[in-house]
A = this chain, B = another copy of it.
Amino acid sequence: MRDFTWSHGQKKAARVAFDLASQRDTQAIRREVEGMLQNSKDARVVWQIEDYLYERRREHDRVFDYRYSVLIFVFAGLVRDSLLSEEELEGIGQEKVEAIRAMLSIR
């Protein structure tokens, strides 16, 4: 895949989309933790929460990698996982959105 160039405005749009997806992922984790607490009267549920958060944090840190060299793949994964819509990526440039769409059509 060819290298993409990022204009100042495209970088700003990328950051907004990236942070939005990160927030959505974190919010989903929070809801899961709240659900675990609500569904258990046993205090030891905190150890299940710790296991869950440990795994989810590793996953989160692995996925949310803001390097321009990999960002197009990151965004493709976020669209696939419904953490971003293609529309929310419009600001990063038409050619990049099309590359993402091409990637997602392969699977």
Known: A37-B33, A37-B34. A26 touches B53 (CB 8 A): no
A53 touches B57 (CB 8 A): no
Q: Per-residue CB proximity of A56-68 to B under 8 Å, as 1/0?
A: 1100000000000
A43 touches B57 (CB 8 A): no
Interface size on A, as a range, is: 10 to 19
A54→B47 CA distance, assembly (Å): 9
Q: Which of B29, B43, B44, B45 contacts A46 (CB 8 A)?
A: B29
Residues of B contacting A45 with CB < 8 Å?
A: 30
Q: Which of B26, B34, B43, B50 contacts A54 (CB 8 A)?
A: B50
A54→B54 CA distance, assembly (Å): 9
Does A27 interact with chain B (Cβ within 8 Å)? Answer: yes
Q: Which of B27, B49, B54, B56 contacts A33 (CB 8 A)?
A: B49
